[in-house]
Chain A
C-alpha cells in the first residue's frame, strides 16, 4: 500500500487545488448578474442562429470510409513488412480480408457514397 502513497498524495493535492480555485473565484471574483451575462460566449460577438445545425450525411459517410481504409492500411503495413516469413497463409488471409473490404467498396461506389455532388 505504501508504494501507492505518492500517487494518492498527488491525487489529493490535485483535488485540493481545484477546490481552492473554485472557492477562491466565488469569494474574490466580481459578480455581474444580467441578461448579457447569461448569453453564450462567442468570441465577444453577438451570437446568432439556432443550436441545431443539420449537416449532410455525406460528411459522415466520407469520414467512416476514411476510417475503414485507414485501418486497412494499418493492417497491411505489418503484413507487408513480414511478407516473406508469413508466406502463403499470410497472403491468403490478407486476400480474404481485402476481398471483404473490396466488396464493401464496390457497394459504396454503386450506391453513390463516393460522389460528393449528386
Chain B
C-alpha cells in the first residue's frame, strides 16, 4: 500500500476544499457547491472505510509519517466520523444558506478546510502536528461562526469564540512546551516512554514531576475548552446560537469529535503512565469531577431555555459531560479489559452523537424559515399536526438525544454507563443516569409542543422551509440513528477495534527476505 493511499482521506479533503474555492470563484451559480462539498466528505469517508476494510494501514507505511501523523484504526474511525458529520453539515448548509441570503461559496471551502484540521488533530501523534491541526480547524470554525455578518449575535459569538479559543490554544501550547522541557520529547509516544522509564519512572525527581503536572493541567484546559466542558463552556451557548445553524451542527459534532480523539490520545497514551493516570495523583479524578460538573450545570441551565437552538447548545455541553464519563471508563483504573470496553463505549457514543446532534440541528433548520431562524418552543406548537413531515424527524432526533430506545442514543448511553459501572464508577454512572432523566424533561418538552399543544391565537407559527438538501441530510441522519439504535453490533465492534489500536506500538514484522547465501557470502 502506498503512502498516497494511506493519506487519501486528507488528500481528498484538500483537493475538494481547494477545488470548491476555485468553483466558487469561477462559477456564476452556487447551488451545486453543497453537493460538491457533500461528495468530497463522502469520498474521504469512503476512503477511510476502504482503508479500514483492508485491515488498516500497514505498519511499514505508518512509520513513514510517524510520529507526526498516526494512521491507526483509531484515526480511521474518527476520520469516518468527522466526514460523516461534515457530509450532513454540508447538505444542511445547502438548504440553509440560500434561504437566509448568505449563500456564499466560502462556507463550504471553510468547512472542508476546517475538517482537514480536525482529521489532522485526530491523527496527531506529536504536539507539533496536534497544534497545527487544532489551529487549522479552529480558524475555519471561527470564520464560520461569524458568517452571518450583519447579525450582531453572530459577530458576538465569533468574537467570544475567537478570543477564548486563542487563549485556550495558547495554554495548550504552553503545556506542550513545558512537557517538552521536562521530557525532552514532543511526540505522544516519546512522552509516554520518558514518563514510564528513566528518571520519571524510577527516580521521580519532584521538581521535574511538578513540571509534568502543570503541563498536563494546561493541556487538559485547552482540550476541555474545545469539547466545551464546564467550567470552560462559557463561549458555547453564544457561539452556537450566533452561528448559522449548519455551522453549529458542524461545531457540535466535528470539532467535538476531533477534540475527544485528541483527549483520548493525550490522556490515555502520553499521560497513560501509572503516576499520571492514578486516582490519587493523576488526571482521572479531574476528568470525573469535570464530568459531574458539566452534566449538572448544562442540564440545569438547559431546563430554563426558551429558545430551542440555545437549548440544543446546552444539550451539546451536557453530552460533553457524558463523553467525559466515558473518558473515565476508558481509563478503567488501568484494567485492560475494562478500559477496552470503556474505549469502545466512548467511541460508539461519539459516533451516535454525531448523527443524532447533526440531525437535531437539521430538523431545527427545517422548522425555521427565512427571517425566522430562532425558533422558540411556542413556535413549534402544533407543528405535528400542521407539518407532520417536519415534526417526525425532529421527534426522532430528540428522543435519541434523550436516550430512549429504539434509537442510537439509547445504546450510546447504555454502553457508556455499563462501562462506567464495570470500571468501578457506579456513582458516576448513577449521576449520569439522573442527569439523563433531567435532560429528558427539556427534550420531551419539544415533543409536547410538537404534538400536544396548539398555537395561541395570533401567535407566530413556524413554517418549515422546503429544500431537497435538508430532506436528504435528515434522511441520512435518521437512517443512521435507527440503524445504530436497532443493530448497534457492527458499529460497536468497529469502535472496540479502533479503541484497541490506540497507543499500540507500531512495529514492522520482519519478513524473511529470500537472498541466496552465496550472494551475501560473496560480499566483502
Q: Which residues of A contact B (CB under 8 A)?
A: 100, 103-104, 106-107, 110-111
Q: How far is the CB of A19 from chain B (nearest CB, A)?
A: 30
Q: Does B18 reach chain A (CB closer than 8 Å)?
A: yes
Residue numbers in A under 8 Å from B26 (CB-CB): 110
Let me know if B21 is at the binding interface, CB within 8 A: yes
Contact present for A106 and B18 (CB under 8 Å): no
Q: A106 CA to B22 CA in the complex, in Å? A: 8
Judged by DSSP, the binding face of A is helix
Chain A residues in 8 Å Cβ range of B25: 106-107, 110-111
Nearest chain B residue, comparing its CB with the CB of A104: B21
Which residues from B are CB-within-8-Å of A110? 25-26
Q: State A106–B26 Cα separation when bound (angstroms).
A: 10
Closest to A99 in B: B18
Interface residues of B (CB under 8 A from A): 18, 21-22, 24-26
Q: Which residues of A contact B24 (CB under 8 A)?
A: 107
A100 touches B18 (CB 8 A): yes
Q: Which partner residue on chain A sits nearest B21 by CB separation?
A: A107
Residue on A nearest B22 in the bound complex, by CB: A103
**A42 shortest CB reach to chain B, Å:** 29
**A73 smallest CB distance to B (angstroms):** 21
| Interfacial chain B residues near A100, Cβ < 8 Å | 18
CB distance from B25 to the nearest CB of A (A): 4
Look across to chain A and name the residue whose beta carbon is closest to the beta carbon of B25. Answer: A110
Which residue of B has the minimal Cβ distance to A103? B18
Chain B residue, CB-CB nearest to A96: B14
Residues of B within 8 A of A111 (CB): 25
* A82 CA / B430 CA spacing, docked (Å): 63
Contacts of A107 in B (CB 8 A): 21-22, 24-25
With both chains docked as a complex, state the minimum distance between the C-beta of B36 and any C-beta of chain A, in angstroms: 15
Q: Which residue of B lies closest to A110 (CB)?
A: B25
In the assembled complex, 13 residue pairs joining A and B whose CB atoms fall closer than 8 Å, in A order, are: A100-B18, A103-B18, A103-B21, A103-B22, A104-B21, A106-B22, A106-B25, A107-B21, A107-B22, A107-B25, A110-B25, A110-B26, A111-B25
How far apart sit A106 and B18, CA to CA, in the bound complex (Å)?
11
Further pairs besides A106-B22, A106-B25: 12, Cβ < 8 Å: A100-B18, A103-B18, A103-B21, A103-B22, A104-B21, A107-B21, A107-B22, A107-B24, A107-B25, A110-B25, A110-B26, A111-B25
Bound-complex Cα distance A107 to B106 (A): 10
* Pairs of residues from A and B, 4 with the lowest C-beta to C-beta distance, nearest first: A110-B25, A107-B25, A103-B18, A107-B21
- How distant is the Cα of A110 from the Cα of B26 in the complex, in angstroms? 7
List chain B residues, Cβ under 8 A from A103: 18, 21-22
A49 CA to B25 CA, complexed, in Å: 40
CA distance A37 to B18 in the complex (A): 57
What separation, in Å, do the CA atoms of A111 and B24 have in the docked complex?
A: 9
Nearest CB on B from A83, distance (A): 24
Set of chain A residues within 8 Å of B22, measured between Cβ atoms: 103, 106-107
Chain B residues in 8 Å Cβ range of A106: 22, 25
User: Cβ of B21: which chain A residues have Cβ within 8 Å of it?
Assistant: 103-104, 107
Q: Which residues of B contact A104 (CB under 8 A)?
A: 21
B26 and chain A: residue at smallest CB distance: A110
Interface centre among B22, B24, B25, B26 (most CB of A within 10 A): B25
A83–B337 CA distance with the chains assembled, in angstroms: 53
With both chains docked as a complex, state the minimum distance between the C-beta of B109 and any C-beta of chain A, in angstroms.
9
How many Å lie between the Cα of A51 and that of B22 in the bound state?
Answer: 40
Distance, CA A107 to CA B24, complexed state (A): 8
Give the Cβ gap from A40 to chain B, nearest Cβ, in Å. 26
CA of A21 to CA of B26 in the docked complex: distance in angstroms?
A: 63
B109's closest neighbor in chain A, by CB? A107
CA of A110 to CA of B25 in the docked complex: distance in angstroms?
A: 6
When chains A and B are docked, how far (Å) is the Cα of A107 from the Cα of B26? 8
**Cα separation A110 to B24 with both chains bound (whole Å):** 9
Q: Which residues of A contact B18 (CB under 8 A)?
A: 100, 103
Tell me the smallest distance from the CB of A55 to a CB of chain B, in Å: 16
Cα–Cα, bound, A100→B24 (Å) = 16
**Alpha-carbon separation in the docked complex, A114 to B32 (Å):** 27
Specify the chain B residue showing the minimal Cβ separation from A108: B25
Name B18's closest neighbour in chain A (CB-CB). Answer: A103
Question: Separation in Å of the A107 CB from the closest CB of chain B?
Answer: 5
Q: What is the CB-to-nearest-CB distance from A115 to chain B, in angstroms, rounded to a whole number?
A: 14
Question: Which of A103, A104, A107, A111: most chain B CB closer than 10 A?
Answer: A107
Write the nearest CB–CB distance from A1 to chain B, whole angstroms.
12
Q: How far is the CA of A23 from the CA of B24 in the complex (A)?
A: 62
A111 to B22, CA, bound (A): 10
A96 to chain B, nearest CB (A): 10
- The docked-state distance in angstroms from the alpha carbon of A104 to that of B18 is 8
Question: How far apart sit A100 and B113, CA to CA, in the bound complex (Å)?
Answer: 12
Bound-state CA distance A103–B23 (Å) is 11
In the complex formed, the residue of B with least CB distance to A100 is B18
Alpha-carbon gap, A98 to B498, bound state (A): 36
